[in-house]
Amino acid sequence: MVNYSNIFVNKGLSYTTYRDLINTLLAEGKLTGGESTEDMLHYTKMNVQRMQRVDKTVQLTKEIVTAISNLSGRYKLLVISEGWCGDAAQIVPVFHRIESLYPDKFELRMVLRDENLPLIDAHLTNGGRAIPVLLILDEQGELVSKWGPRPALLQGLLASWRAESSDMAVVSEKLHYWYAKDKTLTTQSELTAVISSLI
């Protein structure tokens, strides 16, 4: 049985601490989790730039703002992530924007996947440890909803791109082009439905 509240309180990192950790490790030629290969370090550097861009540009939609405004309770957002994950770089800043604009409704904490394997193993996607995973906890620390690791539409596209090509660089380019074009709108649309279900 996963003790979500304990993980949130004792292992959770604020978004700023998470970002600082990624930057500190990168400066030392290291990553969060996994082996520090040249490819993985390159992905992480790119992800830092992606997070910076999304942090600067993300605007919450009218629909998600309405859903948040209708919430009566306060919720904890526990996010399983890693600095090298391309999807996380495109999505996690949206969670941060939600928390920063609505601190009376949400508190965000990040945990690293590879340091919390029992947690991610309780939330596999098609048998894999795909991230990011958003776990929404109520005020008592009980799990009430989850989302991730990416929008359902993109999940389907990704499966078809992987069927077309085994070259991960090609797949990654398509993935990030989709995110850049979408401007977080599909992610926010799905999060709106999740938040609305909490009411």
Q: What's this model's pTM, rounded to 2 decimal places?
A: 0.95
Contact between 22 and 44 under an 8 Å Cβ cutoff? The reply is yes
Residue 30 domain flag: yes
| Coil vs helix vs strand at 82 | coil
Residue 74 carries which side chain, given as an amino acid letter?
A: R
Residue 174 domain flag: no
Residue 119 domain flag: yes
Mean pLDDT taken over the chain: 95
| Range(s) of the domain holding residue 122 | 4-149+184-196
The structural domain count of the chain equals 1
pLDDT value at position 58? 97
pLDDT value at position 158? 86
CATH number reported for the structural domain that contains residue 119 in this entry:
3.40.30.10
pLDDT value at position 159? 86
Q: How far is it, in rounded angstroms, from Cα 12 to Cα 78?
A: 8
Residue 85 domain flag: yes
Residue 88 domain flag: yes
Residue 9 domain flag: yes
pLDDT value at position 78? 98
For 48, how many CA atoms within 13 A lie in the half-sphere containing its CB?
18
User: With pLDDT > 90 as the criterion, what percentage of the chain qualifies?
Assistant: 84
Determine the length of the chain.
Answer: 199
Residue 81 domain flag: yes
pLDDT value at position 131? 97
Order of strands across the sheet that contains 75-81: 106-112, 75-81, 133-137, 143-147
Q: Which two tokens stand for residue 9?
A: 């309180």
| Coil vs helix vs strand at 51 | helix
Residue 54 domain flag: yes
